[in-house]
Chains A and B, each alone.
Chain A
Amino acid sequence: MTEVAYDVDDDTVAVVEDTDLPRRLKDQVYATLEERGDATVDDADELAKAVEARYLDTRVDPLDPVGTVSAQSIGEPGTQLTMNTFHYAGVAEIDVTQGLPRLIELVDARKTPDTPMMTIYLEDEYATEREKAHEVVWKIEATKILALGDVSTNVADMRVQISLNEDTLQERMITPEEVAEIIQDNLGVKAIQQGTQIEFGPEEPSYRDLLQLVEELREITFKGIEDISRVVIRREELDDGSEEFILYTEGSAFGDALEIEGVDASRSTCNNIHEIHRNLGIEAAREAIIEETNNTLAEQGLDDVNVRHLMLVADMMTNRGEIESIGRHGISGSKDSVLARAAFEVTVNHLLNAAIHGEVDELDGVTENVIVGKPIKLGTGDVDLRMGSTTSGSGRAD
């Protein structure tokens, strides 16, 4: 007998437990019965049956080919998606790939998205005070020399001269000494720093080297994360009505960003599913795939696509504990059946390889059975029911 935490008698428990309801619904039934108090065992039975009927009615049927249905449900609206690569998502300042190209990118599980970006939420006072939030911004956004001051080349003396802007230095919390040191480390030249002036040049006078140095200087990241070219800070209203600062970045380096003080790792995300996989694990990656595909569809007004379909795609992509793409290099290419692989793409190579490895096609899947002309093992084809003939011979219709 199952122990129940509700005040109901054993017979009631027996009838309720007898149903195919999941725990959560059984508990709800108990709660309802307890509340009413006066319900008889028959009442309980009826209630449980009614709830069960309602529950079973909305469940997927066994042997439903849910995979195909999900694939169709995502693929069919594909024709309605836009091709325009660039558009604005929420934040007008940042361009993000959208529509069909983005959907293809997600399903392909590309190593880096076309337009990587992060959405960074902040913790505590960082989220509420503009000053504090900016502190985080400077730690994330890559600061290049042109943001710190003016660079000029003195061709006569073969020197590069930098005059730093004191205000920006202060704002970005970096000292001229640090700047000089970073230059020395990166370019391997001796940099002379005096106040906000920094000067250096090639060891031997050479016009080419001088220009080369300036080029290299522009590439140096003085502060922040190299991959992040721009950060947009926005004050947004949350669901609970409170306001806080949220950072949107162009470029992504999720692992590095999470380390930074003030970043709320529990809410921040990025649109590169591989980075999420690396930093937060496969379950997070699955969530990210669902979230990203859903957003892509929603942005085009197709938010009526049932999330369950997206979940199935995400689950399929993450089933082996790593992100697999949908297509020749991923799921379709690693199928067990030779015929299924050959029927998808690169037909001849798959056949030749199968011969070498002495593969055996057990004909379990869909495509193989279509090829050899057998019924497929899905839906009604998966049921092996035959009507037995009654020997008495009477009462048999037709």
Chain B
Amino acid sequence: MQNSTPKDIGSINFGLMEPEEYREMSATKIITADTYDDDGFPIDMGLMDPRLGVIDPGLECKTCGKHSGSCNGHFGHIELAAPVIHVGFTKLIRRLLRGTCRECSRLLLTEDERGEFYDQIDDSRKLGRDLNDVTKAAIRQARKKDRCPHCGEIQYDIDHEKPTTYYEVQQVLASEYSQRIAGAMQGDEEAGIERTTPDELAEKTEIDIGRVNEILSGSFRPREGQRKAIEKALDIDLTEEDTNKLMPSDIRDWFEAIPDEDMEVLGINPERSRPEWMILTVLPVPPVTARPSITLDNGQRSEDDLTHKLVDIIRINQRFMENREAGAPQLIIEDLWELLQYHVTTFMDNEISGTPPARHRSGRPLKTLSQRLKGKEGRFRGSLSGKRVNFSARTVISPDPTLSLNEVGVPDRVASEMTQTMNVTERNVDEARRYVSNGPEAHPGANYVRRPDGRRLKVTEKNCEQLAEKVDAGWEVNRHLVDGDIVIFNRQPSLHRMSIMAHEVVVMPYKTFRLNTVVCPPYNADFDGDEMNMHALQNEEARAEARVLMRVQEQILSPRFGENIIGAIQDHISGMYLLTHDNPRFNETQALDLLRATRIDELPEPSGVDDEGEPFWTGYDVFSELLPDDLNLEFTGTVGDDVVIENGQLLEGTVAEDEVGEFGGEIVDTITKVYGNTRARIFVNEVSTLAMRAIMHFGFSIGIDDETIPEEAQARIDETIEDADDRVEELIEAYERGELESLPGRTVDETLEMKIMQTLSRARDNAGNIADEHFDDDNPAVVMAESGARGSMLNLTQMAGAVGQQAVRGERINRGYEDRTLSHYKPNDLSAEAHGFVENSYTSGLTPREFFFHAMGGREGLVDTAVRTSKSGYLQRRLINALSELETQYDGTVRDTSDTIVQFEFGEDGTSPVKVSSGDDNEIDVEQIADQVLDSEFASEEERAEFLGTKAEPTNLSEYADDRLVEGTEVTSDD
């Protein structure tokens, strides 16, 4: 294993295999259907022949001498008693039978036609089109021929009885031809057809009168020309269909004679796939490793589906041979032949329409070759495109606000299972020994070591001390994950690239992965039981790439809309809102407490002195401490006021969702684009800790009392709803009187529905507005809705005002009983109440009927989500599959892997979707740059170099190294 050079697959050729090739690659011929003898040993030349490979550990393969695990297995073969058709090619076989001569096997096309189709095949091949289309056209052309253009033989129609039977259909003279002629000569008085005398017939058909009499008496069978003449003269049909079954052996003989040149015209490569190879004479037997048998608890062996099928084939094959040798009647032979065909067919595909699937004893259909390849769990999608991997872990996630967004808390038991390979050198030999001496159980330990001679040793509690002494330069140590290692972290469904990001490990006690809450949006994670996967990287290239390209901070900007996807969420936003909305004042202790988890360890100058002479700091000033010193920004904020930041000082506005939130918080976005990812990471980390301190300072809770409104407000709400009910009643009356005017393009019924819906939705809004009036600005629900932390005013309306109209399919609820929704209402009741208008609020509680309607609306939502996820999942898969090969090149073009140019510049201007917000048009303002460059406003030479783009950006390092690069101080999260 160690010494074998890794083989690189250059290309893969597809083709059919010749029977002789099957025999050559076969390790043994299989003749017995039995698998094991009484002692449990595999029978020689049986289906479990030890030459086919080994599955039991400890045994040696008789063909290659390797042990189970390293021996891939070897094919065997079965000599079929009679040829059978390969089910996969039935359509092509039919086409070839129809398109080639039954006598000389040549394609039924003239030289000109052949040339034409040959050119077409050539074009199709070059253009990458489907060759089958040309093949079909060529066969259609060939089928038109009655006679072979080469040998002149008459061609018959081929009938295909699915799946694997072919008939040759000829029109032959019916046996009772004389009666038919005589009958027709009688004439039919009613239809006005006159009698025909033999003389007249002879005259019409120009057949000798003697012959006519002979024909009439049935003693002479008319030739084809004569038959046609008689048919024409008497307007009758003298033929009947004669079907002649083509046995696979006949077809094989037929195909053997098709010349190679003719195959090329049909797009078949004769070198790789001769058509006669579609008829099997030898059946390859897959190695036992492809169909391992399982030993059950009671010691019984349970064989694989494929083995079962092979047993069937061998049995029938033997019976066939015995019967044939014994000279059994043709009928029995044919039956056995068909049975053999059935078993070989189902061995390859057990889902052929028209044939009953082969079943297991329990009645479960067998999973044979095709079924193994097909579908999501099949070989291609399930085992080749997606593989199970080592060095991965999965567990529940939980939040940990003390971690940096770049980090992930890894449980110690995971960390001591996942390992990293350490190449021991003189420089790290002490470190390596320390790991090994800790053994596999203690946390920063090691699980395996590899000696310079390639031998791998397991580190155990017993040998760890001894091994540690032996470890020296040149060894490899598989040490446990430790703080600062880089791992890949992922949450399914992986819908975009931010679903898989690299984190730095922080080893922690207990059993869950810990995340900073700000990385929830890119993963779309929450903590209601979500699980995530972790992958430990196994080579230096991978680790470097993960660090530079995949670290969370590198993914702050989303390529979908070019703004930050990571930012403050939920309570962070409420906290920032509380901190900055009314610009509250804090004394020294409070201000220091707010900033204690950030890098700031010294307060700025106090914002002012209060009445008691104590210095105070405002929320703005505290927040501004986190901003880069030279940040200038001005925009309209979440609350609707202008947010003004000058020289890193917040002067005006409230900081909330649109400022620091996920999905395009302006400040985070600007910091990322202007000051870089590392600065942005520090900012987001600090904003979130500051916000949590702030929300803890003010206190934030919500309860049912926060949504309860005074009685007089409730009375007003009831009034508006009654009003709306009246108006709906009026509409219904107008409708019943036929006075309702329909809107353009709508029926009266639709108009009524629309108007009622409008009225009721207005009523709900009014109720909400009334309720709103009674909520103070410091009401927690209002704070959350205003700041954009969670919920909306609509939610509040539904809690305090009225829940409103329930809808199914965008309409009022109309289903249920005949002409009514529930038996509580009269038929054809159009009122608001009878169609799902909920006039209560969630706080006041729903009536049973309202509750029922509400559940209807809710159920629709659930069903909708379920349908949507599967549909959009498939859409995503198709999109990815179609576009996955596209890549920008050094010349700016977008090409696929076969170098077809799809775009000359990505998105017409070559602009990166990550770096430019989708709303911006990315105009480079040369004037402004000129102002800055030429009128030199740089504080230092370094800054100037940065602006000119001559200074190289710092390389990505680790969480701790990064901090040293930015403003020299370190982030310490100590709470």
Chain A positions near chain B (C-beta within 8 angstroms)? 25, 28-29, 31-33, 36, 39, 43, 46-47, 49-79, 81-84, 86-87, 92-94, 100, 103-104, 107, 230, 232, 304-309, 311-313, 315-316, 319, 326-327, 330-334, 336, 338-340, 342-344, 347-349, 351-367, 370-372, 374, 377-380, 382, 398
Indicate if the CB atoms of A371 and B384 lie closer than 8 Å.
yes
A312-B886 contact, Cβ under 8 Å, with A49-B948, A69-B559? yes
Q: How far is the CA of A56 from the CA of B953 in the complex (A)?
A: 14
Q: How far is the CA of A334 from the CA of B908 in the complex (A)?
A: 26
Indicate if the CB atoms of A358 and B888 lie closer than 8 Å.
no
Indicate if the CB atoms of B869 and A79 lie closer than 8 Å.
yes
Indicate if the CB atoms of A60 and B888 lie closer than 8 Å.
yes
Indicate if the CB atoms of B14 and A354 lie closer than 8 Å.
yes
Q: How far is the CA of A47 from the CA of B929 in the complex (A)?
A: 7
Identify A50's interface contact among B132, B878, B947, CB under 8 A: B947
Indicate if the CB atoms of A356 and B89 lie closer than 8 Å.
yes
Determine how close the nearest CB of chain B comes to the CB of A61; give it in whole angstroms.
Answer: 7
List 5 interface pairs A-B (beta carbons < 8 Å), by A numbering.
A54-B929, A71-B880, A357-B131, A371-B380, A380-B549
B-chain residues with CB within 8 Å of residue A87 when the two chains form the complex: 810
A326-B882 contact, Cβ under 8 Å, with A93-B745, A230-B745, A334-B130? yes
Confirm or deny: B210 has a beta carbon within 8 angstroms of a beta carbon on chain A: no
Q: How far is the CA of A347 from the CA of B934 in the complex (A)?
A: 63
With A50-B947, A306-B562, A371-B385 given, name 8 new contacts (CB 8 A). A58-B911, A72-B495, A72-B559, A75-B880, A304-B918, A306-B561, A362-B11, A367-B385
Confirm or deny: B474 has a beta carbon within 8 angstroms of a beta carbon on chain A: no
Indicate if the CB atoms of A358 and B872 lie closer than 8 Å.
no
Instruction: Give me the 8 closest cross-chain CB pairs, A-B, nearest first.
Output: A53-B949, A358-B269, A67-B886, A308-B907, A75-B876, A78-B872, A67-B883, A358-B272
Q: How far is the CA of A142 from the CA of B912 in the complex (A)?
A: 48
Confirm or deny: B889 has a beta carbon within 8 angstroms of a beta carbon on chain A: yes
Identify B381's interface contact among A46, A57, A343, CB under 8 A: A343
A76-B930 contact, Cβ under 8 Å, with A305-B560, A343-B381? no
Q: How far is the CA of A81 from the CA of B384 in the complex (A)?
A: 32
Chain B positions near chain A (C-beta within 8 angstroms)? 8-16, 88-89, 92, 128-132, 267-269, 271-273, 349, 370, 373-375, 378, 380-381, 384-385, 425, 495-497, 545, 549, 559-563, 664, 743-746, 809-810, 864, 867-869, 871-872, 875-876, 878-890, 892, 894, 896-898, 900, 902-903, 906-908, 910-913, 915-916, 918-919, 922, 924, 926-927, 929-930, 932-934, 947-950
Indicate if the CB atoms of B947 and A355 lie closer than 8 Å.
no
Determine how close the nearest CB of chain A comes to the CB of B494; give it in whole angstroms.
Answer: 9
B-chain residues with CB within 8 Å of residue A68 when the two chains form the complex: 497, 880, 883-884, 886
Indicate if the CB atoms of B882 and A71 lie closer than 8 Å.
yes
B-chain residues with CB within 8 Å of residue A104 when the two chains form the complex: 871, 875
Q: How far is the CA of A64 from the CA of B882 in the complex (A)?
A: 16
Indicate if the CB atoms of A66 and B14 lie closer than 8 Å.
no
Q: How far is the CA of A104 from the CA of B273 in the complex (A)?
A: 39
Most buried by B among A72, A311, A338, A380: A72
Indicate if the CB atoms of A348 and B374 lie closer than 8 Å.
yes
Indicate if the CB atoms of B385 and A83 lie closer than 8 Å.
no
Determine how close the nearest CB of chain B comes to the CB of A250; give it in whole angstroms.
Answer: 9
B-chain residues with CB within 8 Å of residue A51 when the two chains form the complex: 924, 926, 929
Indicate if the CB atoms of A332 and B882 lie closer than 8 Å.
yes
Q: Which residue of A lies closest to B869 (CB)?
A: A79
Indicate if the CB atoms of B810 and A71 lie closer than 8 Å.
no
A58-B922 contact, Cβ under 8 Å, with A75-B879, A355-B15? yes
Q: Which residue of B lies closest to A72 (CB)?
A: B496
A-chain residues with CB within 8 Å of residue B926 when the two chains form the complex: 25, 28-29, 31-32, 47, 51
Q: Which residue of B lies closest to A370 (CB)?
A: B385
A-chain residues with CB within 8 Å of residue B950 when the two chains form the complex: 49, 53
Q: How far is the CA of A355 from the CA of B381 in the complex (A)?
A: 20
A-chain residues with CB within 8 Å of residue B16 when the two chains form the complex: 355-356
Determine how close the nearest CB of chain A comes to the CB of B563; give it in whole angstroms.
Answer: 8
Determine how close the nearest CB of chain A comes to the CB of B523; give it in whole angstroms.
Answer: 12
Determine how close the nearest CB of chain A comes to the CB of B812; give it in whole angstroms.
Answer: 15
Indicate if the CB atoms of A73 and B559 lie closer than 8 Å.
yes
B-chain residues with CB within 8 Å of residue A77 when the two chains form the complex: 560
Indicate if the CB atoms of A79 and B495 lie closer than 8 Å.
yes
By secondary structure, the B interface counts as loop
Q: How far is the CA of A347 from the CA of B563 in the complex (A)?
A: 40
Identify B897's interface contact among A100, A355, A366, CB under 8 A: A366
A-chain residues with CB within 8 Å of residue B906 when the two chains form the complex: 60, 64, 66, 308, 312
Indicate if the CB atoms of A355 and B872 lie closer than 8 Å.
no
Indicate if the CB atoms of B884 and A366 lie closer than 8 Å.
yes
Q: How far is the CA of A363 from the CA of B746 in the complex (A)?
A: 58
A66-B894 contact, Cβ under 8 Å, with A309-B560, A355-B16, A365-B885? yes
Q: Which residue of B lies closest to A317 (CB)?
A: B882
A-chain residues with CB within 8 Å of residue B809 when the two chains form the complex: 84
Indicate if the CB atoms of B933 and A46 lie closer than 8 Å.
yes
Indicate if the CB atoms of B875 and A107 lie closer than 8 Å.
yes
Q: How far is the CA of A269 from the CA of B531 in the complex (A)?
A: 48
Determine how close the nearest CB of chain A comes to the CB of B354; give it in whole angstroms.
Answer: 17
Q: Which residue of B lies closest to A333 (CB)?
A: B130
Q: How far is the CA of A239 from the CA of B746 in the complex (A)?
A: 29
Determine how close the nearest CB of chain A comes to the CB of B450; give it in whole angstroms.
Answer: 19
A-chain residues with CB within 8 Å of residue B562 when the two chains form the complex: 306
Indicate if the CB atoms of B903 and A59 lie closer than 8 Å.
no
Most buried by A among B271, B384, B932: B384
Q: Which residue of A lies closest to B16 (CB)?
A: A355
Q: How far is the CA of A379 from the CA of B885 in the complex (A)?
A: 11
Indicate if the CB atoms of A347 and B373 lie closer than 8 Å.
yes
Most buried by B among A36, A59, A77, A379: A59
Indicate if the CB atoms of B924 and A360 lie closer than 8 Å.
no
Q: How far is the CA of A273 from the CA of B351 in the complex (A)?
A: 38
Indicate if the CB atoms of B497 and A69 lie closer than 8 Å.
yes
Indicate if the CB atoms of B883 and A71 lie closer than 8 Å.
yes
Indicate if the CB atoms of A71 and B879 lie closer than 8 Å.
yes
Indicate if the CB atoms of A64 and B887 lie closer than 8 Å.
yes
Determine how close the nearest CB of chain A comes to the CB of B21; give it in whole angstroms.
Answer: 13
Q: How far is the CA of A225 from the CA of B175 in the complex (A)?
A: 60
Q: How far is the CA of A87 from the CA of B894 in the complex (A)?
A: 37
Q: How far is the CA of A51 from the CA of B926 in the complex (A)?
A: 7
A-chain residues with CB within 8 Å of residue B913 when the two chains form the complex: 60, 69, 73, 306, 308-309
B-chain residues with CB within 8 Å of residue A46 when the two chains form the complex: 933-934, 948
A-chain residues with CB within 8 Å of residue B908 when the two chains form the complex: 308, 311
Q: How far is the CA of A81 from the CA of B876 in the complex (A)?
A: 13
Indicate if the CB atoms of A81 and B868 lie closer than 8 Å.
yes
B-chain residues with CB within 8 Å of residue A336 when the two chains form the complex: 128, 898
B-chain residues with CB within 8 Å of residue A309 when the two chains form the complex: 560, 907, 913
A-chain residues with CB within 8 Å of residue B919 when the two chains form the complex: 304
Q: How far is the CA of A377 from the CA of B913 in the complex (A)?
A: 22
B-chain residues with CB within 8 Å of residue A304 when the two chains form the complex: 560-561, 563, 664, 918-919
Q: How far is the CA of A236 from the CA of B809 in the complex (A)?
A: 30
A66-B948 contact, Cβ under 8 Å, with A73-B913, A358-B13, A365-B897? no
Q: How far is the CA of A67 from the CA of B660 in the complex (A)?
A: 30
Indicate if the CB atoms of B9 and A306 lie closer than 8 Å.
no
Determine how close the nearest CB of chain A comes to the CB of B818; give it in whole angstroms.
Answer: 25
Q: How far is the CA of A305 from the CA of B497 in the complex (A)?
A: 15
B-chain residues with CB within 8 Å of residue A54 when the two chains form the complex: 924, 929, 949
Identify B545's interface contact among A36, A64, A66, A380, CB under 8 A: A380
Q: How far is the CA of A39 from the CA of B929 in the complex (A)?
A: 14
B-chain residues with CB within 8 Å of residue A326 when the two chains form the complex: 878-879, 882
Indicate if the CB atoms of A360 and B14 lie closer than 8 Å.
yes
Q: How far is the CA of A285 from the CA of B192 in the complex (A)?
A: 64
Indicate if the CB atoms of B907 and A311 lie closer than 8 Å.
yes
Q: How far is the CA of A81 from the CA of B908 in the complex (A)?
A: 27
Indicate if the CB atoms of B272 and A60 lie closer than 8 Å.
no
Q: Which residue of B lies closest to A55 (CB)?
A: B924
Q: How far is the CA of A29 from the CA of B664 in the complex (A)?
A: 32
A315-B902 contact, Cβ under 8 Å, with A70-B883, A348-B373? yes
Q: How far is the CA of A87 from the CA of B545 in the complex (A)?
A: 46
